[in-house]
């Protein structure tokens, strides 16, 4: 065996097919948007901005009915909140039911629950007899749904619904239910109660949450242990109303009164939900790829969230989804938040809370996403959460019975995306495309009753995302045409040793650098990606030793007309392409940076060529270096240096010579390149082994003296990879450092796309990836089709 200069990142551009990228994208209109389109775009943006001002929650007939049942402490025959009774009288549907109007037939259990609660309210105050008559007919006609396992079941239904039937008896209300139906419901309640009481703290929390279904048999001292600072029980109006009726607690009263003052005669099923709703809105905008249009609004949300985090706000820390989202978003944006706050959601503790007991799939998904933002070597709590949530999500996805309707399918697709594209292997453009394809504006969540929130998935999000995506697609196609001309003008298509696939190189840039104004950065990324592919092939057998030395000398002298000369036509093409491209980058960067960056770029290329020459000598002489010697060369030969540096000059901040020469820059570069090299070598080992070549995996086994298996070596290298990317992420997210955040982000983005490309194979043989590339450029998003699917 001998050492070959291992395949660099530029190999992403290589393909067994040498088809021109022009043939991939025929017949697409590349005209810019019209003035009318631009006006509509701005109007949509303004509507979305207004959503930041107020969280719009749907009314819960179920919870409003329970608040309406509360008697006045001064007279048990008088309602404390008569405005809720008026709402009940005014809000019955034509079929006799109450509840959220929705075309989902699987919400019938929820409608039965809400309708029976409203009937009990009217009976309690002896009014609305006609309303009750119609409602009882509705219940009689649909009671079979109460025991239908295919129906979406509100939280606690099996305890609350039978409990309300028993309460109806206390009120002398004759429900038109067959004894067999009632008996079946009562048996289910008894089974559920036994299960909860034999369970841990999570079962106790659940019993407290569904207190209205237990009534006078409830341990109200236990229930009041869950009272929050705002006076509520679990932020649930119905639970709080039931507690107030039994305990006459001042905190419960203050909470209920504040609700009525805010919502004017009706209440939602959960309140407050502001922090969660606004974080969810920010998350949606980010997934749709349109967050850059709302930077000020998002910063305001995150600043307020961070203030609440630092003050220990219950509405963050008592809810797994909110806490996980807050942690992830704040940490990613550079806020100083500790993962210690997530200890309560570790595998052995989470079941003790309500969400853990309910096996909340959505909360587990948010915890999984949060657990990936590891920036310190000792964050075992995040590792623990990542382990159990990934297992839990995979199990849930494999269970056919879990996914019964459109709402669940959206959550399912989010989980699929999160598992398939972890945070360290994410493409913004691809994520936004998938978010649009799985969009469902008709999202109804279900707690004790169904609820909707405009901030969760407004149709304007989709409209803006589609328009933005298609506009960027037209920009990208123009840039691709520019790159195709560049290839021909520099005669790169004439190099026989070079397999050109421009689509991959540009896809990496376009799918990552999504801002329209980053044209120069995308072009520089793609051009240098192609050029690193050229020299990669050239030094990996495409050129003779004389040619390799000739190219290095030419770059050192940097004079296309100088005395060095060209020993071959291939050397001339390669050098002149490199020279003209670097000079053009230098001219463009002068505008952005206000200084010449030519020397920085040339030095980057020279460093790469010399390392490649060294590895070519190793290969020729069959040298077997130590792992340390190998990695010192191999992280450079992975060829990210000439790609990352020119990009940094085109993203906004000015970079001085001191910044580029700083220890921080060098560390960012080395961590990024080391991670990429390790991932590359794991994936390419089998192929390179067959070719008699060495890489870090084979060197690891050699260093083990025959006592280390391939599997053991892979696990060890994976550990090195994980440590490298965690350290890289920590450095990227660290505030107040030498390198500006906008520049540090590019190191992470470039590492992420490397990781994504090497997730399944050796980075350039994936048909699935090629199909993704084609779809990104060929297929505009169709708003009507997305809305009507």
Residue 618 belongs to a domain with what CATH number? Answer: 1.10.600.10
540 in a known ligand binding site: yes
Supply φ then ψ for residue 311, to 5 degrees. Answer: -90, 0
**Positions of the chain with pLDDT under 50:** 1-33, 401-404, 763-765
Q: Does residue 198 share a domain with residue 83?
A: yes
235 and 128 both lie in a single domain: yes
Identify whether residues 709 and 693 lie together within a single domain.
yes
781 falls within a domain: no
Residues 197, 310, single domain; the answer is no
Do residues 277 and 177 share a domain? no
Residue 35 lies in a domain: no
Query: What pTM value is reported for the model?
Result: 0.93
51 and 83 part of one domain: no
Residue 482 lies in a domain: no
Residues 321 and 458 in one domain: yes
- Is there a domain that residue 12 lies in? no
Residue 74 among known ligand-binding residues: no
Give how far Cα 463 sits from Cα of 257, 341, 429, 446, 785, Å: 39, 37, 16, 26, 12
Q: What is the pLDDT of residue 36?
A: 67
- Host domain of residue 610: 491-623
pLDDT recorded at residue 760: 67
Final residue of a structural domain among 233, 249, 267:
267
Domain boundary at 235, 267, 299, which?
267
Task: Please tell me whether residues 559 and 667 are part of one structural domain.
Answer: no
Beta strand pairing call for 445-446 and 71-72: unpaired
What does the DSSP assignment read for 45-94?
HHHHHHHTT---B---HHHHHHHHTPEETTEEEEES-HHHHHHHHH---T
Q: Say whether 517 counts as a known binding-site residue.
A: no
pLDDT tens for 540-567 read 888 999 999 999 999 999 999 988 999 9
Out of 267, 284, 306, pick the residue that ends a domain: 267
Q: Which pLDDT score is estimated for 28?
A: 34
Please tell me the total count of domains within the chain. Answer: 4
Domain CATH for 409: 1.50.10.130
705 within some domain: yes
Residues 292, 418, single domain; the answer is: yes
Q: Is residue 547 part of a domain?
A: yes
d(CA 270, CA 315): 11
Residue (of 108, 94, 103, 110) closest to 60 by Cα position: 110
Q: Are 218 and 245 in contact (CB under 8 A)?
A: no
Q: Is residue 99 part of a domain?
A: yes
Same domain for 90 and 228: yes
Distance CA 91, CA 58 (A): 13
Does residue 251 sit in the same domain as residue 287?
Answer: no
Is residue 422 domain-shared with residue 280, that is, in the same domain? Answer: yes
Q: Where are the beta strands (DSSP E) in 384-469?
A: 445-446, 450-451
The DSSP bridge partners found for residue 693 are 2
pLDDT at 400: 58
**CATH number of the domain bearing residue 195:** 1.50.10.160
* Pure H helices in 248-311: 250-263, 274-287, 295-310
Q: Does residue 197 belong to any structural domain of this protein?
A: yes
């Amino acid at each position: 065996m001998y050492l070959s200069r291992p395949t660099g990142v530029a190999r992403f551009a290589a393909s067994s097919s040498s088809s021109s990228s022009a043939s991939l994208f025929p017949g697409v209109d590349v005209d810019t948007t019209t003035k009318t389109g631009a006006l509509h775009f701005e109007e949509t943006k303004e509507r979305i901005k207004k959503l930041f001002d107020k969280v719009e929650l749907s009314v819960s007939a179920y919870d409003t009915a329970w608040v309406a049942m509360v008697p006045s402490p001064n007279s048990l025959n008088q309602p404390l909140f008569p405005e809720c009774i008026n709402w009940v009288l005014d809000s019955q549907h034509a079929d006799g039911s109450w509840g959220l109007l929705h075309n989902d037939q699987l919400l019938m259990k929820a409608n039965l629950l809400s309708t029976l609660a409203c009937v009990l309210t009217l009976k309690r105050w002896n009014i609305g007899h006609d309303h009750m008559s119609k409602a009882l007919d509705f219940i009689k006609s649909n009671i079979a749904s109460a025991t239908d396992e295919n129906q979406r079941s509100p939280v606690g239904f099996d305890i609350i619904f039978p409990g309300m039937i028993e309460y109806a008896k206390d009120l002398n209300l004759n429900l038109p239910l067959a004894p067999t139906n009632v008996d079946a419901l009562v048996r289910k309640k008894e089974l559920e109660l036994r299960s909860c009481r034999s369970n841990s703290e999570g079962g106790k929390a659940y019993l407290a949450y569904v207190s209205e279904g237990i009534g006078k048999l409830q341990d109200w001292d236990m229930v009041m242990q869950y009272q929050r600072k705002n006076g509520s029980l679990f932020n649930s109006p119905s639970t709080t109303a039931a507690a107030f009726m039994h305990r006459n607690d001042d905190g419960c009263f203050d909470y209920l009164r504040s609700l009525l003052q805010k919502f004017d005669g009706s209440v939602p099923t959960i309140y407050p939900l502001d922090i969660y709703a606004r974080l969810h809105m920010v998350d949606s905008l980010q997934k749709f790829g349109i967050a850059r249009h709302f930077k000020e609004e998002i910063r305001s949300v995150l600043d307020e969230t961070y203030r609440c985090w630092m003050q220990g706000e219950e509405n963050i820390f008592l809810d797994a989804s909110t806490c996980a989202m807050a942690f992830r978003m704040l940490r990613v944006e550079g806020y100083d938040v500790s993962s210690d706050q997530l200890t309560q959601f570790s595998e052995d503790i989470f079941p003790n809370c309500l969400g853990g007991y309910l096996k909340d799939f959505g909360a587990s998904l948010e915890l999984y996403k949060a657990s990936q933002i590891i920036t310190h070597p000792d964050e075992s709590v995040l590792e623990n959460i990542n382990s159990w949530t990934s297992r839990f999500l995979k199990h849930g996805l494999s269970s056919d019975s879990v996914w019964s309707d459109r709402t669940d399918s959206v959550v399912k697709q989010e989980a699929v995306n999160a598992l398939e594209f972890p945070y360290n292997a994410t493409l913004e453009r691809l994520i936004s495309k998938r978010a649009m394809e799985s969009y469902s504006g008709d999202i109804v969540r279900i707690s004790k009753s169904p609820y909707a929130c405009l901030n969760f998935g407004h149709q304007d999000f989709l409209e803006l995302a589609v328009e933005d995506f298609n506009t960027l697609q037209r920009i990208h196609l123009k840039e691709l045409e520019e790159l195709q001309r560049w290839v021909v003008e520099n005669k790169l298509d004439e190099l026989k040793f070079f397999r050109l696939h421009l689509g991959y190189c540009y896809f990496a840039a376009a799918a990552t650098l999504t801002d329209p104004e980053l044209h120069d950065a995308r072009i520089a990324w793609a051009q240098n990606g192609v050029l690193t592919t050229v020299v990669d092939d050239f030094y990996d057998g495409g050129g003779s030793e004389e040619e390799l030395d000739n190219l290095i000398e030419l770059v050192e002298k940097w004079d296309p007309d100088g005395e060095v000369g060209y020993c071959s036509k291939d050397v001339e093409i390669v050098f002149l392409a490199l020279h003209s491209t670097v000079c053009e980058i230098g001219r463009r960067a002068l505008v952005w940076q206000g200084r010449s960056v030519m020397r920085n770029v040339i030095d980057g290329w020279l460093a790469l060529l010399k390392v490649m020459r060294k590895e070519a000598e190793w290969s020729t002489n069959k040298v077997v270096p130590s792992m340390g010697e190998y990695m010192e060369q191999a992280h450079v030969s992975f060829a990210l240096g000439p790609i990352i540096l020119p990009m940094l000059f085109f993203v906004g901040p000015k970079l001085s010579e001191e910044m580029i020469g700083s220890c921080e820059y060098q560390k960012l570069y080395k961590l990024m390149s080391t991670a990429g090299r390790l991932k590359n070598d794991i994936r390419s080992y089998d192929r390179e082994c067959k070719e008699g070549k060495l890489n870090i995996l084979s060197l690891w086994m050699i260093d083990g003296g025959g006592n280390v298996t391939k599997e053991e070596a892979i696990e060890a290298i994976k550990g090195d990879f994980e440590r490298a990317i965690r350290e890289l992420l920590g450095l990227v997210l660290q505030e107040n450092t030498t390198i500006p955040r906008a520049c540090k982000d590019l190191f992470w983005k470039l590492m992420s796309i490397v990781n994504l490309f090497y997730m399944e194979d050796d980075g350039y043989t994936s048909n699935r990836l090629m199909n993704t590339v084609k779809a990104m450029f060929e297929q505009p998003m169709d708003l009507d089709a997305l809305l009507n699917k």
